[in-house]
Structure 1
């Protein structure tokens, strides 16, 4: 036990907050990415601004500076945090600097706008930098962009659409736990007559959850999103329908019942852990709070996996968490007691038990 579930640690949204540059486009960008990395690693905002300014003066295209330098460095920030080579404070400082240096890129009103695009994060999604990368890429390519930032409530997004009439909405999500909210947003935007392009790790590396939830298009990164929109307008959505029509497995009510009982699941799991691991009784208030948060993350990813009926959502979270724990010299098996206790409480839910079994198998070393 370490003061967390026995073991989990905090991180930047559990996943890196940035984007990944394209090697195919950024051959001349690598030296500048190294220089920017050196600047953000020591939290030197002035040096970081100088790197971006010098790269532009040296002839590197603004889009390459954005995606092959800034985004590439932000991806490295996430990887370094996961490997326990950056603290949360260092990661936050680096992310803030990367967000700041984006403002150095040239902005100008296009003479002939290609159209109007709204870019927003799913409600409760706080990883805003990927969405900003999409926004800035589209601006550089001549689009009028309304960038709404992080955690945009669906009702406010719909109000904005009615006021501005965009040609499409680009919806960004980094955490799979936001997929139910993403589904609601996709359905609502389409009901307003506007097509939706989804992007970000929440929707799967191949976009499978974007398709499952009925998005009109999916893009793996900012460059691909801009390319897809440049290829032609997205098809206008079909008449409105109920979100649950896309996911018939929700009729078994497992998702609904587990989601409604999530607070109780976290509370009872915490109490049972205290009983089975007496050392937890000596935890400080901060350690107890972190432990409860870690259990809540496990329950949240389990609930999201039930929503899309996908083992990969839950197993992927556990596998990533195991890597983070290992980097911090905490055995991944410390997750197992939580899974056991959840299964005891959810024994009447076949899909939940299947997910917990799959998670346990993924964490248990094989001979």
Structure 2
């Protein structure tokens, strides 16, 4: 009976793994940031040991996937390091200094030129800890000598001032030490009157700037500006009624649509406030009287019209044709 049992067909291709990774991605097609993100997520999952033991495979497939991911990241790091080292062989970009280091030292960079541990300047001066503790914490007092500011008055100026203080050789100073009865004869000086007159007659040439100032301040004095008048149209007041009448006198205007009208009223006059109030009251009184007169006239006309209403006289009615032929077809 057991010999006649036919085994079930294989559901897989021989030589392939039985478990299919349907949801797994090709790690070679992913970018480096994506690999790091998947690594963080899977490491977070692997940290829950209790949950992993509850799975059927005890988290074996997840651990294998994590190992493959680490291997891919490690491979890419090695490729990046090799690329960086090979790019360092291009010494043309680094210049002549790198070429000399490679020629004489066998290295691309001068390791002695760049020291990571830079000693402080204080360590070179003093290294004894007791001496350092015994030093004061305050800074040393520094005295800075500021030079005095340069004076605007020099020694030559002071000498000139002293000379000015000395008495001058005037006629009064010459006679200061002598009395009126001095025995010394007076010195007679001869003066040429023609030379003195010639010097006085010579006039200095006029200063053009002085003439300009005199002409500006005294000769051509600007007239003050006229005060603004709201009832005047222009500054020259060309529309003054009196000027209009004089200008139009003797002229024959052609009467057209553009002919300006004749002046009928005088120019506006300025009156005090009290006089203006009196004129206003007089005007209102006149208007009131005119209105009363007009009302009386209207009442009289209305009364006359009411008295005129009534039937016509019989003699007038009988003379009309409509009275004799009343509704005659």
Highest Rg: 1 or 2? Answer: 2
TM over 0.5: no
TM norm structure 2:
0.16
Q: TM-score, normalization: structure 1?
A: 0.15
More helix by share: 1
Instruction: Considering fraction of residues, name the structure with more strand.
Output: 1
Q: Which has the higher contact order (CA 8 A, sep 6+)?
A: 1
